[in-house]
């Protein structure tokens, strides 16, 4: 009987540099501290899920290099007995990301070396050996081979998701945030074979060509419902969720949900690098356990908030029971009506 969640695709080492403020082009800034952590969806989500539930079967599927960074990733994942690495393969150079963490506004900027990520293709997952109920594949726009055109499915990513569904596995996708016009071409084919689409407001808006932030950076609440509905219309079978610092917004085909984020004191926030993956992990865990969309979004909201208490992407994530209590006890932002 299938059980648990599999995370496939992007893995990396995050080299985190904390700076006083992000510099303008050709300007200098001072690095306040340097640290290292796991990065990418495969490690971030796998460890977040393992921390939420020590009994949950988690399968991590990715390529790592036979190099120092690859050994670091494997060692970090092996600390969790419930993470299965049977489909972790070794080839090429391990990807890494320089994460520049701005102390002034807590934003983060990424410089990524893709390394062996291009090796992850439509044959990289052995579905006969996969034992998960849910397969999450990330990220669209970052996995070069899966972004390639497919005559039948539109993209190779869409083909992989269709294969998963044919094996009775529910599917989940995420998209990388980038400054490009590739979204409308690359994302829709995969949505036809997606059960859970959980993305941030930038990725969601660009995928359907509807802006969700104005020129001043304010969230355009009036457009959230349009984007949720349009993403669902592309074929998402179960849930569409958009997560933002202001809150989470979801659509299950019948009802629209607006779940406010938790109020965390600025002085308590050590890093934001893993918040999106922690949020997604909480929502997927809720889906696996049969929670309704609103309940799963609350769990994701607490998971994202807990990740803010540490500089790295995973060590702040708490257990399921602690997250449920955290969402109930922490003050909330004012909810947005959409």
Joined tokens for residue 1 = 């009987």
**Would 241 be classed as within a structural domain?**
yes
Joined tokens for residue 174 = 């995420």
Buried b (16+ CB within 10 A) or exposed e, 200-229: bbbbbbbbbeeebeeeeeebeeebbeebbe
Residue-number span of the structural domain to which 62 is assigned: 5-329
**Would 335 be classed as within a structural domain?**
no
Q: What is the pLDDT of residue 310?
A: 87
**Would 216 be classed as within a structural domain?**
yes
Phi then psi for 245, rounded to 5 degrees?
-60, -30
Q: What pairing do the DSSP bridges indicate for beta strands 96-102 and 196-200?
A: unpaired
Q: What is the pLDDT of residue 309?
A: 86
**Would 334 be classed as within a structural domain?**
no
The total number of structural domains that make up the chain: 1
Looking at 102-180, list the stretches that DSSP marks H as alpha helix, in order from N- to C-terminal side. Answer: 156-166
**Would 336 be classed as within a structural domain?**
no
Q: What is the pLDDT of residue 271?
A: 65
Give the position of tokens 């308590």.
268
Q: Pick left, alpha or beta for residue 217 (phi over 0 → left; psi -120 to 50 → alpha; otherwise beta).
A: left
CA distances (Å), origin 235, targets 164, 195, 240: 16, 9, 10
259: domain CATH number is: 3.40.1190.20
Give the position of tokens 């985190």.
16
**Would 67 be classed as within a structural domain?**
yes
> Model-level pTM greater than 0.85?
yes
Task: Compute the distance between CA of residue 301 and CA of residue 231 in angstroms, rounded to an integer.
Answer: 21
**Would 337 be classed as within a structural domain?**
no
**Would 316 be classed as within a structural domain?**
yes
pLDDT of the chain, 338 residues: tens digit per residue: 789 999 999 999 999 899 999 999 999 999 999 989 999 999 999 999 999 999 999 999 999 999 999 999 999 999 999 999 999 999 999 999 898 988 888 787 889 899 999 999 999 999 999 999 999 999 999 999 999 999 999 999 999 999 999 999 999 999 998 888 999 999 999 999 999 999 999 999 999 999 999 999 999 999 999 999 999 999 999 999 999 999 999 999 999 999 999 988 877 777 677 899 999 999 999 999 999 999 999 999 999 999 998 878 899 999 999 999 999 999 999 877 77
Q: What is the pLDDT of residue 164?
A: 98
Using alpha carbons only, give the angle 247, 46, 200 rounded to the nearest 5 degrees: 25
The answer to whether 327 and 318 are in contact (CB under 8 A) is no
């Amino acid at each position: 009987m299938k059980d648990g969640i599999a995370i496939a695709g992007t893995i990396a080492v995050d080299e985190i540099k904390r700076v006083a403020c992000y510099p303008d082009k050709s300007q200098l800034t001072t690095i306040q501290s340097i640290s290292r952590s796991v990065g990418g969806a495969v490690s971030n989500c796998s460890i977040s899920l393992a921390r939420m539930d020590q009994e949950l079967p988690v399968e991590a599927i990715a390529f790592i290099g036979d190099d120092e960074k690859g050994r670091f990733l494997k060692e970090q994942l092996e600390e969790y007995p419930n993470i299965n690495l049977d489909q972790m393969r070794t080839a090429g150079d391990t990807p890494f990301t320089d994460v520049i963490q701005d102390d002034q506004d807590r934003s983060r900027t990424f410089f990524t070396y893709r390394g062996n990520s291009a090796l992850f293709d439509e044959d990289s997952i052995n579905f006969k050996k996969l034992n998960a109920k849910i397969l999450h594949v990330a990220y669209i726009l970052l996995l070069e081979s899966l972004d390639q055109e497919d005559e039948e499915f539109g993209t190779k990513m869409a083909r992989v998701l269709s294969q998963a569904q044919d094996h009775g596995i529910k599917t989940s996708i995420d998209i990388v945030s980038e400054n490009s016009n590739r979204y409308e071409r690359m994302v829709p084919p995969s949505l036809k074979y997606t059960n859970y689409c959980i993305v941030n407001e930038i990725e969601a808006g660009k995928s359907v060509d509807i802006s969700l932030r104005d020129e001043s950076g304010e969230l355009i609440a009036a457009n959230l419902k349009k984007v949720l509905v349009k993403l669902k219309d592309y074929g998402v079978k179960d849930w569409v969720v958009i997560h933002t610092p202001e809150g989470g917004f979801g659509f299950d085909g019948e009802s629209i949900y607006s779940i406010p984020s938790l109020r965390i004191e600025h002085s308590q926030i050590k890093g934001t690098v893993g918040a999106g993956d922690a949020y997604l992990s909480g929502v997927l865990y809720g889906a696996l356990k049969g929670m309704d969309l609103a309940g799963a979004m609350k769990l994701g909201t607490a998971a994202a908030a807990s990740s803010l208490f540490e500089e790295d992407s995973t060590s702040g994530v708490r257990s399921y029971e602690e997250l449920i209590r955290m969402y109930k006890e922490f003050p909330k932002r004012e909810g947005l009506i959409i």
